[in-house]
């Protein structure tokens, strides 16, 4: 069957089970958009390519399926860059397709030409410049295989216009042949035995779980192991939802803004079982003082993460779901003892708490109310900053893929387009973007997308009139010199209404609940402007470069 390159691309996408694409058309992708016109692929037109990349990322994190986005050459492609880097840092399966100038114009600084394969080399798992329409189907297949297997990540495919408009014979591609790529499966038996023995011999175990638990779908296995070991579980920001926070063994989040009891537990444990984590600096604080008394077992699918930042005692490469099962077979139930009592004591002594304001709304209070109104069943996305940390601390996550946030790259402007992607992937669920007044303005144009596709996304802005996290650091470490962190904001209600969404401004605590209830009921996008305490700080806090047990607040 003779097809154009673009038709072959669409067909190859459908062979991969893709039904939804986020994108933005332009000159060099015209042939692809022309082929899209006749296809039954669901295309969501965002209002900026960055929005398309983040929406595809949010869709992927919520559904577990790869996210797909399209953009044109040059500025279209470079606008994807932040979204791709974001997906790379958080190991999200994303496949980005970009148009490119015709092959004969490549390398001549042509109109809307950018070397996007060169630009994205350090932020993709792999990328391709397609040189022959006949290669398209094979490359698409490889791209999806790479994005979704092993440690997931973004893959970019750059398609010159003459390739997408050129003709090719469409055939189902031959089996994949990538001699340099073998995703790990089970863990080394000897090492698993050693790990099991160390766990059984431990007296003060802690499990430190990350995003790998969620991407491997290993949350059930994790829970079983925690219960067998009677080990408290702390998760990273990326791991939130990987272990139910309403479980008695949950310690919540650790690290810079983690709970005191999680950080104390890590400092005093004699065994740390680190699963699907990468010992990020926001988690470890001062590396030399991280879990100083513990034997560390690290299980991860990416060998390069083992002993990268913190030297570990037992390093196991493998698919987390499989390795945890191997480990489960070798463990017998342990009994709670003094350690578990100690943890209980810490939890009682140092709970996460805030003082309710007299006249003002506290942002933490809004988050708790979102939890109450949604029964803890909402999909939460966030932007980046103080509101993100409060969302991590005060909404009790019990399901994997329910907390969707930019962890590694820390991308302001991520949460809203991501929420759009989440809502597209989970049409029957309640989706909230918890935002700050600074972050929301970085991709606010996506209101048009939400309205266009009738997506009932809820945006809750914690409006403190500052770039709050930066202001907090200026307060704590720069002698209160608030250099360029005060925000003069638009009227978010009018803005929402101008786009055709609903808008509410909330200034009194008594109005929080009714407005949230109204938002959840509404079938339209809703933007809520919560006017909150201006100089509230995120606590507790480990100052940068300090040990985890050296917490402020």
Partner 1 sequence: MLHTLAVLVENNPGVLARVAGLFSRRGFNIDSLAVGRTDNPAISRMTIVVEGDERTLEQVTKQLHKLVDVIKINDITKEPHVERELVLIKVQADRAARLEVMQIAGVFRAKIVDCGPKTLTVEATGTEDKINALEEALRPYTIKELMRTGKIAMLRGARYTTVK
Our measurement of the distance from residue 523's CA atom to the centroid of its chain's CA atoms, rounded to an integer in Å, reads 26
Smallest gap from residue 4 Cβ to partner 1 (A): 23
C-beta of 116 vs 370, nearer to partner 1:
116
- Residue labelled with tokens 């949010």: 58
**Site for partner 1 (CB under 8 A): which residue of 126, 204, 223, 295?**
126
The token duo for 224 is: 């079983």
Which residues belong to the active site?
A: 49, 111-112, 161, 469
Q: Work out whether 179 is an interface residue with partner 1 (CB under 8 A).
A: yes
d(CA 505, CA 503): 7
Among 117, 284, 365, 405, binds partner 1 (CB under 8 A): 117
Nearest distance, CB of residue 342 and partner 1, angstroms: 34
Closest separation in Å from C-beta 274 to partner 1: 17
Which segment (126-134, 341-349, 418-426, 485-493) binds partner 1 by CB under 8 A? 126-134
Site for partner 1 contains 121 (CB under 8 A): yes
Bridge partners of residue 381, in order along the sequence: 404, 433
**Nearer Cβ to partner 1 (279/492):** 279
Report if residue 178 touches partner 1, rule: CB under 8 A: yes
118 binds partner 1 (CB under 8 A): yes
Residue 442 phi/psi, 5° resolution?
A: -80, -20
Residue from 15, 105, 106, 181 touching partner 1 (CB under 8 A): that is: 181
Residues in the chain: 553
Our CB check for partner 1 shows the closer of 139 and 515 to be 139
**Shortest CB 432 distance to partner 1, Å:** 35
Does residue number 183 form part of the binding site for partner 1 (CB under 8 A)? no
122 near partner 1 (CB under 8 A) = yes
Nearest to 303 by CA among 161, 184, 436, 433: 184
Report how far Cα 219 is from the mean position of its chain's Cα atoms.
Answer: 16
Q: Kindly state whether residue 175 participates in binding partner 1, applying the rule CB under 8 A.
A: no
Examine residue 485 and tell whether it contacts partner 1 (CB under 8 A). no
Q: Is 125 in the site for partner 1 (CB under 8 A)?
A: yes
CB of 306 to partner 1, least distance (A): 8
Binding flag, residue 180, partner 1 (CB under 8 A): yes
Nearer of residues 142 and 529 to partner 1, judged by Cβ: 142
Candidates 156, 144, 192, 155; CA nearest to 319 is 192
Distance CA(205)–CA(327), nearest Å, equals 15
Give, as one character, the DSSP assignment of residue 106: T
Mark the segment that binds partner 1 (CB under 8 A) among 37-45, 65-73, 173-181, 290-298: 173-181
Q: Kindly report the number of other CB atoms within 10 A of residue 40's CB atom.
A: 8
Told to check if 140 binds partner 1 by CB under 8 A, we report: no
Query: What residues does 297 pair with on adjacent strands?
Result: 273, 314
Instruction: Give burial (CB, 10 Å; 0-12/13-18/19+) of 74.
Output: buried
Site membership for partner 1, residue 257 (CB under 8 A): no
Q: Are 382 and 538 in contact, with CB atoms under 8 Å apart?
A: no
Cβ nearer to partner 1, comparing 178 with 552 = 178
* DSSP-based three-state secondary structure for 283: helix
CA count, 13 A, side-chain hemisphere, 23? 26
Smallest gap from residue 540 Cβ to partner 1 (A): 32
- The C-alpha atoms of residue 437 and residue 446 are separated, in whole angstroms, by 15
Residue with tokens 């810490």: 346
* Closer CB to partner 1, 162 or 546, in the complex: 162
* H helix intervals, 297-337: 320-330
Q: SS3 for 402-438, per residue?
A: CEECCCCCCCCCCHHHHHHHHHHHCCCCCEEEEEECC
Name the one range near partner 1 by CB under 8 A: 14-22, 176-184, 206-214, 344-352: 176-184
Minimum CB distance to partner 1, residue 65 (Å): 21
List Cα–Cα distances, 138 to 8, 170, 439, in angstroms: 10, 10, 39
Q: Site size for partner 1, by CB under 8 A? A: 19
Per the listing, tokens 């492609």 go with 77
Q: Interaction with partner 1 in 292-351: which residues (CB under 8 A)?
A: 302-304, 306-308
Nearest distance from C-beta of residue 123 to partner 1, angstroms: 10
Among the candidate windows 177-185, 279-287, 350-358, 454-462, which touches partner 1 by CB under 8 A? Answer: 177-185
Residues that bind partner 1 (CB under 8 A): 117-118, 121-122, 125-126, 129, 131, 146, 178-181, 302-304, 306-308
């Amino acid at each position: 069957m003779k097809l154009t390159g673009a038709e072959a691309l669409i067909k190859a996408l459908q062979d991969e089970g893709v039904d939804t694409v986020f994108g933005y058309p332009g000159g060099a992708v015209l042939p692809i958009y022309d082929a899209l016109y006749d296809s039954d692929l669901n295309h969501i037109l965002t209002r900026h390519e960055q929005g398309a990349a983040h929406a595809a990322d949010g869709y992927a994190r919520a559904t577990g399926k790869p996210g797909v986005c399209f953009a044109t050459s040059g500025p279209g492609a470079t606008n994807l860059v932040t979204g791709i880097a974001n997906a790379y840092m958080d190991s999200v399966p994303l496949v980005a397709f970009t148009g490119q100038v015709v092959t004969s114009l490549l390398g001549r600084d042509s109109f809307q030409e950018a070397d996007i394969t060169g630009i994205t080399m350090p932020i993709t798992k792999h990328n391709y410049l397609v040189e022959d329409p006949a290669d398209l189907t094979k490359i698409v297949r490889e791209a999806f295989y790479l994005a979704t297997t092993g440690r997931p990540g973004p893959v970019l495919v750059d398609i010159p216009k003459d390739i997408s408009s050129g003709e090719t014979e469409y055939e189902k591609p031959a089996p994949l042949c990538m001699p340099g790529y073998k995703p790990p499966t089970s863990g080394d038996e000897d090492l698993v035995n050693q790990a099991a023995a160390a766990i059984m011999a431990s007296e003060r175990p802690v499990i430190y779980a990350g995003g790998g638990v969620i991407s491997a779908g290993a949350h059930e296995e994790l829970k079983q192991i925690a219960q067998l070991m009677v080990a408290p579980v702390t998760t990273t920001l990326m791991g939130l939802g990987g272990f139910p926070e309403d479980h008695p063994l949950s310690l919540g989040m650790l690290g810079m803004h983690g709970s005191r009891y999680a950080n104390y537990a890590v400092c005093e444990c004699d065994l740390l079982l680190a699963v699907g984590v990468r010992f990020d600096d926001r988690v470890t604080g001062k590396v030399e003082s991280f879990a100083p008394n513990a034997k560390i077992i690290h299980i991860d699918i990416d060998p390069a993460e083992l002993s990268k930042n913190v030297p570990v005692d037992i390093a196991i490469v493998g698919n987390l779901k499989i390795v945890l099962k191997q480990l489960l077979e070798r463990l017998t139930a342990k009994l709670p003892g003094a350690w578990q009592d100690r943890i209980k004591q810490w939890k009682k002594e140092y709970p996460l708490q805030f003082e309710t304001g007299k006249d003002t709304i506290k942002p933490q209070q809004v988050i708790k109310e979102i939890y109450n109104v949604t029964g803890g069943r909402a999909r939460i996305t966030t932007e980046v900053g103080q509101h993100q940390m409060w969302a991590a601390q005060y909404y009790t996550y019990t399901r994997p893929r329910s907390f969707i946030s930019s962890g590694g790259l820390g991308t302001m402007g991520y949460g809203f387009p991501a929420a759009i992607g989440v809502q597209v992937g989970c049409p029957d669920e309640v989706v909230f973007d918890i935002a700050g007044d600074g972050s929301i303005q970085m991709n606010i144009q996506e209101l048009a997308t939400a309205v266009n596709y009738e997506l009932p996304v809820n945006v809750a802005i914690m409006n403190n009139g500052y770039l709050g996290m930066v202001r907090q650091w200026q307060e704590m470490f720069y002698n209160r010199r608030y250099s360029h962190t005060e925000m003069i904001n638009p009227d978010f209600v009018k803005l929402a209404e101008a786009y055709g969404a609903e808008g509410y401004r909330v200034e009194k605590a008594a109005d929080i609940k009714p407005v949230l209830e109204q938002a959840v009921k509404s079938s339209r996008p809703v933007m809520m402007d919560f006017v909150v305490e201006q100089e509230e700080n995120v606590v507790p806090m480990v100052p940068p470069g300090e040990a985890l047990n050296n917490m402020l607040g």
